[in-house]
Copies of this chain bind each other. A is one copy, B any other.
């Protein structure tokens, strides 16, 4: 079930919900969903070799925006499976989509998105997406 819901997401990470992720309303707090998305994003960036400052010129990704649409409340105990995929690649940026599935419910609990910009940390400005990163995304998405 969960696998079908995450078809098309080349990167999927499993994360156990912590009891302490729940807030006053006794559901997982909204900001924790962004932590879950971040874990999937970082894994994706690792897979395309674009996680942080590279040796070839201090170019790395910077998160420009992100959002979440909440579908179902989450409660402990549960394990979430979070999928990440790239939906669009531009000159100096790319867009990601996240899908968070509750393994306990077998249902989508949230959908998210994010825009990552290629940034030269030394020069402090946007730069074109490195060609090898572009190819790594194509390769990973083409699987």
- Residues 75-116 of A, flagged 1 when their CB comes within 8 A of B and 0 if not, give 010000000000000000000000000000000000000000
- Complex contact B34–A38 (CB within 8 A): no
| A28 nearest CB across to chain B (Å) | 10
Select the stretch in A1-9, A19-27, A129-137 that faces chain B.
A19-27
Oligomeric state, in copies: 4
A58 close to B (CB within 8 Å)? no
Interface range on chain A (Cβ under 8 Å from partner): 20 to 34
| A97 nearest CB across to chain B (Å) | 14
- Complex contact A67–B66 (CB within 8 A): yes
- Complex contact B39–A35 (CB within 8 A): no
Chain A interface (Cβ < 8 Å from any Cβ of B):
13-16, 18-20, 22-26, 29-32, 34-35, 38-39, 42, 52, 63-70, 76
